[in-house]
Chain A
Amino acid sequence: MSALSHARHVLAENPVTALSFCLFALLALAALAGPALVPYDPLASSDRALAPPSALHWFGTDNLGRDVFSRVVVATRLDLGMAFAAVALVFVTGTLAGVTAGFLGGWTDRVIGRLTDTIMAFPLFVLAMGLVAAAGNTVANVVYATAIINFPIYARVARTEANIRRDAGFVEAARLAGASTATVMLGEVLPNVLPIMMVQVSLTMGYAILNTAGLSFIGLGIRPPTAEWGIMVAEGAGYIVSGEWWIALFPGLALMLAVFTFNLMGDGLRDIVDPRRRT
């Protein structure tokens, strides 16, 4: 297994990538088993409101006496889930659109190029805001909007990669063997583009998390009292000026850690998949 030994070599060379994999495992654990692990009910209020961090409440309590630690851990599933749904959606649609545009060229390429140009003509977060406001303030629409603003990145990368391989030897061979255009595109070109697109998943995951949390911070998507990092930071924002820092700090740190993990992991994965692009 040369790929595996190469991966092991890169991990040993780059301890930061190894660290990012550990952090990812931690996040995955919180997302999968979070509700079973936390000491308190994330929605249950108590009479200990605005208590600073202590042995009883590791991250303190908020204005309703809810345990901040429990809320931060439980929110992991929702935040990562929304971002993951958006990225999965755009991974499929963007990759297919990009590969089709790059492989077929012609008017398909022009139509998809025009579409990505139009999306890129907006400041992306502003476009997401407008889309959610227009389509309705629901969680599903936040996911769709996040997928849409990421579409150009996927479509463009996939287009370039498919375009390079358009006349590669193995493609010519498949054509000569009598394979149809669709078979060549999906059976020969697409599998070769996929590893590079997988790296994009990790790289855009961080941006998708920031985007969904930012939208909930301004009141779009998830509604209180649900535990979600963006909302929790928004709820804690009012208490920052009076010195109750823990309500906003811990969900903010969790958000930062998640984005940081995916960005680092994306860089590391790129080194494994495509050593030429190492910076």
Chain B
Amino acid sequence: MLGLLARRLAAALPTLAGVVVVTFVMTRALPGDPAAYFAGPAATREAVEEIRRQLGLDQPLWVQFGRYLADLARGDLGVSITTGQPVLSDIAQRLPASAELTLLGLLIAAGFGIPMGVAAALRPNSWVDHLCRVVATAGVSLPTFFTGLLLVYVFYYLLGWAPAPLGRLDAFSSPPPHVTGFHLIDSALAGDGETFLAAAAQLVLPALTLGIFALAPIARMTRGAMLAVMSSDFIRAARASGLAGRTIVIRYALRNALLPVVTTLGMVLSFLLGANVLVEKVFAWPGIGSYAVEALIASDYVPVQGFVMTMAALYVALNLLIDLAYQAIDPRVRIEA
């Protein structure tokens, strides 16, 4: 397993190198002259030249790239002009909020999408199947920011069930002591039921918005995979042996059908991480997505680049995890050494 891990890590290196090159080009392609941009609008010509020297922009491109790599290795993503803080610490502080939201969204999507796909595959052309198809097509057609607003209108304005869409906690609650950074887990650890409920109430609508979006591809894939597995020989053999329907579906079919579903998780995560930005803006969620959007609006580009870099690194790492999980589930899959 360790050798496998090393091989997968090595295979991810060229991808990571590509990511670093792309983000480097982004930092050097800043609109106009980066030195003039960092010096500010009131700077003199000398000040701009001074900044250019400080930033190393007068050096050849490969020297700049070397400096960029060295900065990255030290975890230096630059300093945000708006917050005055290093981008890395800003992102680290806001990451748990985004992670909690995205993971819950994924859980909701898998929790509804997989059973729906299974039910549709067991009865092709029944009403469940048609419902599954409609949901799958409608789900990918919904702009997440629009779904979020609809949910806010119905559950906050009309029904009054949900709190105002203004962040992770309402004004009357204080955040639980920091352990994992996930409000739900931290408040549960602290035994603070009130904060737990307050955090959960704020989390439901944005997580549901993400979940509805990611549900479509999961349901669609599960349906396809289950259909293929249910018509295979070993299922027929299990049926012929008189096994109970439940055992066949769950123990035999679903376990095999989940394999292709796990591989699509990578694509689903790509969608989720992108949709996260839009959902965070709608719900004023203090995560890294809204951090990047606020920086964009203030024309503060260093945090945006740090955000893109972080997201890409996270995404590469998550894909690696999915790969490893896939090989753990299915011993037949072995990458060629």
A122 proximity list for chain B (CB < 8 A)? 19, 22, 270, 308, 311-312, 315
Q: Are B274 and A123 in contact (CB under 8 A)?
A: yes
Closest chain B residue to A210, Cβ basis: B143
B156 proximity list for chain A (CB < 8 A)? 241
Contact with A along B278-293 (1 / 0, CB 8 A): 1001100000000011
A236 proximity list for chain B (CB < 8 A)? 149
B234 CB to nearest chain A CB (Å): 23
B138 proximity list for chain A (CB < 8 A)? 260
Q: How far is the CA of A21 from the CA of B68 in the complex (A)?
A: 51
B260 CB to nearest chain A CB (Å): 14
B31 proximity list for chain A (CB < 8 A)? 134-137
Contacts A126-B273, A126-B308; A133 near B141 (Cβ below 8 A): no
- Which of B143, B153, B301, B311 is the one whose CB lies under 8 Å from A133? B301
Count of A interface residues, CB-CB < 8 Å: 48
B contacts with A: majority SS: helix
B307 proximity list for chain A (CB < 8 A)? 126, 130
Count of B interface residues, CB-CB < 8 Å: 56
Contacts A130-B308, A252-B150; A260 near B278 (Cβ below 8 A): no
Q: Are B149 and A260 in contact (CB under 8 A)?
A: no
Q: How far is the CA of A3 from the CA of B10 in the complex (A)?
A: 49
Residues of chain B in range 113-157 having any CB-CB distance to chain A below 8 Å? 137-138, 140-146, 149-150, 152-153, 156-157
A247 CB to nearest chain B CB (Å): 10
A2 CB to nearest chain B CB (Å): 28
B304 proximity list for chain A (CB < 8 A)? 129-130, 133
Q: How far is the CA of A249 from the CA of B301 in the complex (A)?
A: 32
A123 CB to nearest chain B CB (Å): 4
Tell me if A240 is interfacial: C-beta within 8 Å of chain B. yes
B26 proximity list for chain A (CB < 8 A)? 130-131, 133-134
B311 proximity list for chain A (CB < 8 A)? 122-123, 126
The segment out of A31-39, A82-90, A177-185, A211-219 that lies at the interface is A211-219
Q: Are A123 and B297 in contact (CB under 8 A)?
A: no
Q: Are B145 and A217 in contact (CB under 8 A)?
A: yes
A237 proximity list for chain B (CB < 8 A)? 145, 149, 282
Tell me if A127 is interfacial: C-beta within 8 Å of chain B. yes
Q: Are B308 and A125 in contact (CB under 8 A)?
A: no
B157 proximity list for chain A (CB < 8 A)? 240-243, 245
Tell me if B66 is interfacial: C-beta within 8 Å of chain A. no
Q: Are A130 and B305 in contact (CB under 8 A)?
A: yes
- Which of A121, A218, A249 is the one whose CB lies under 8 Å from B278? A218
Tell me if B83 is interfacial: C-beta within 8 Å of chain A. no
Closest chain A residue to B282, Cβ basis: A237
Q: Are A121 and B316 in contact (CB under 8 A)?
A: yes
B274 CB to nearest chain A CB (Å): 3
A124 proximity list for chain B (CB < 8 A)? 270-271, 274
Tell me if A175 is interfacial: C-beta within 8 Å of chain B. no
Q: How far is the CA of A137 from the CA of B29 in the complex (A)?
A: 12
Q: How far is the CA of A166 from the CA of B31 in the complex (A)?
A: 44
A131 CB to nearest chain B CB (Å): 7
Tell me if B30 is interfacial: C-beta within 8 Å of chain A. yes
Contact with B along A51-87 (1 / 0, CB 8 A): 0000000000000000000000000000000000000
Tell me if B165 is interfacial: C-beta within 8 Å of chain A. yes
Q: Are A121 and B146 in contact (CB under 8 A)?
A: no
Closest chain B residue to A229, Cβ basis: B143
A182 CB to nearest chain B CB (Å): 29
A251 CB to nearest chain B CB (Å): 9
Residues of chain B in range 263-283 having any CB-CB distance to chain A below 8 Å? 269-275, 277-278, 281-282
Interface pairs (18), CB distance under 8 Å: A118-B19, A120-B270, A121-B15, A122-B311, A125-B278, A130-B305, A131-B26, A134-B27, A214-B278, A217-B143, A218-B293, A233-B146, A236-B149, A256-B141, A256-B142, A256-B143, A259-B142, A263-B141
Question: What 11 additional pairs, Cβ within 8 angstroms, besides A123-B270, A125-B275?
Answer: A117-B14, A118-B15, A121-B316, A123-B315, A124-B270, A126-B307, A134-B29, A136-B31, A217-B143, A233-B145, A240-B153
Smallest CB-CB A-B distances: 8 pairs: A125-B274, A118-B18, A130-B308, A252-B146, A123-B273, A134-B26, A260-B141, A136-B31
